[in-house]
Amino acid sequence: MRWKFVTHLKDYCVNCTLSGFSYMANENLHFTERLFWLICVVLSAWGCYHLIDEYENDFESRAVSIVYESIHPFARVKFPTISVCDLYNKYELGPDIEEYVASMEPCGLDCYNYEIETHIAFIMYPYFYHDGVIRGRCEQYENCGENCAKCPANNYRGLLEKFGANCSSLFNECSLSYKSFDCCKYFLPLITPFGKCFLLNSLQNNKKDSPTWFKSMINPAYQKPIMTINSKRPIQVSILNEEDVPHYALPTVKVEIMQPGQRKSFQFFIENMINDPGVRDISPHYRQCRFADELVDDTGFKAYSFSSCMADCVRQHQMALCNCSAYSLMPTPLAKYPDCDLNGYMCLERNYMVKRDAKPLLPWSDSNHTCTCLPSCTENDIRSVYESNSETEPGAKDLRIDIMMSNLPSERYRRQALRSRLDAVVSIGGILGLFLGASLLSGLEFLYYFTIRLWNDVRRARRQQ
């Protein structure tokens, strides 16, 4: 009985709304009927507003889902982005750095200062830095006058550009599916939070339609997903997403090789993430991710990723504390965010902000310096599977790493939009039709009545006059 009453009341309210103007035009309408009609209109308008408001809130907050789907077993597979980063080797820093340090001393190589050499290494290799080493090595020489060498006071970015590894001094040979390609054409340099790295197919220093974007699609029918990198110096090889940057504080699928003649093989597994076109219509706050081209304000990077966002966030905290930032947090210099000199690095050390760990930066930590960074919408799931024991080839001076997909992916993740803007238009139109009797035709009639009809009535009245 209760549901029958509600149904009859709803139908009567709708009928009242539809014929409301007819009721009001009737001068013989009883006061009670007019009052009941007004109550129906108010209830209909309130119900219409409430449902539309709920739908708009749910449209974004519950409009995205992630499903797991199978892909064709013979589908072409894209080999992921690879970064090759130069590693610190205290025995082979290079003769250029030795000459530079010796030139600071009045007695040259006879009183070579290893403390300054190590300080330069900490600046050039940010991942190698640990708290307190800059003050511990540089403060003792600040007041020694002209009789001793002092730590370089500024232009640390210039030191990396001058003494850091270049492509020809790092790579010997590269190949994909046992087919060689030009390393230095496709591995492009980039200053990263980890240090100086060379990235293959990265959105941070390249574009997909450029001549330097390597065609890394693998056809499983006749190609094997293996990349070989032969280097002259110690390196760290990381498997990344296209929008990521190597970062010392974030977990990365990586492998290192240090000693001349060393040979290693490394296997990984990847599951891709794709997005339906409708996902872009939903704001990042509700879909809980950002696309690579949705850059945040004051970023120093060309593409958004969680790693680049964390670097930007640390840079902002450094600016707030010391009015400068570590040069490694910006690929290119910006006048708005000056690089720290020696005094700036000492200020960062006093605040423990030179090399900030990721855990205190997370939003739920109790730190005073946290970051709110969303993941990337195109972030693939990359996992390490196997790393062989290091083997040494007698007499060899080069270093070689074989990077291989352990298995070709057979599934992938898909982020899909449960509702589109067209769905919103249809649903809101249905709500308006249910409660107010409104439709597309009634909307057109409304426009017609106050435009063409009004103009015809005015013109007819003038003719009659």
pLDDT digits (tens, 9 = 90+) for 394-429: 888 899 999 999 888 888 999 988 776 666 666 666
pLDDT at 30 (0 to 100) = 60
Q: Judge if 337 and 218 occupy the same domain.
A: yes
Task: Classify residue 439: in a domain, yes or no.
Answer: yes
pLDDT at 436 (0 to 100) = 63
Residue 147 DSSP symbol: S
The percent of residues above 90 in pLDDT, for the chain, comes to 37
pLDDT at 230 (0 to 100) = 95
Q: Judge if 203 and 308 occupy the same domain.
A: yes
What are the C-alpha distances in Å from 426 to residues 55, 381, 422, 443? Answer: 12, 36, 6, 14
**Between residues 46 and 171, the one the model is more confident about:** 171
pLDDT at 425 (0 to 100) = 66
Q: Judge if 308 and 445 occupy the same domain.
A: no
Q: Comparing 73-82, 133-142, 284-293, 341-350, which segment has the lowest mean pLDDT?
A: 133-142
Q: Judge if 298 and 441 occupy the same domain.
A: no
Q: Judge if 391 and 439 occupy the same domain.
A: no
pLDDT digits (tens, 9 = 90+) for 42-53: 777 777 677 767
**Between residues 464 and 190, the one the model is more confident about:** 190
CB of 271 closer than 8 Å to CB of 381:
yes
Q: Judge if 390 and 447 occupy the same domain.
A: no
Q: Judge if 313 and 249 occupy the same domain.
A: yes
For 6, the domain range is 1-63+419-464
Task: Classify residue 274: in a domain, yes or no.
Answer: yes
Q: Judge if 368 and 426 occupy the same domain.
A: no
pLDDT at 311 over 80: yes
Cα gap 357→346, rounded to integer Å: 18
Q: Judge if 260 and 391 occupy the same domain.
A: yes
Going by pLDDT thresholds of 50, 70 and 90, the confidence category of residue 462 is: confident
Q: Judge if 240 and 386 occupy the same domain.
A: yes
Q: Are strands 235-240 and 81-86 parallel, antiparallel or unpaired?
A: antiparallel
Q: Judge if 426 and 314 occupy the same domain.
A: no
pLDDT at 121 over 60: yes
Which tokens go with 166? 């270049």
- Rounded mean pLDDT of 302-331? 93
pTM: 0.80
Q: Judge if 353 and 210 occupy the same domain.
A: yes
The count of domains in the chain is 2
Going by pLDDT thresholds of 50, 70 and 90, the confidence category of residue 8 is: very low
Task: Classify residue 318: in a domain, yes or no.
Answer: yes
Residue 90 DSSP symbol: T
Q: Comparing 40-54, 93-107, 150-164, 267-281, which segment has the lowest mean pLDDT?
A: 40-54
pLDDT digits (tens, 9 = 90+) for 354-380: 888 888 888 887 778 888 899 999 999
- Rounded mean pLDDT of 37-46? 72
Residue 360 DSSP symbol: G
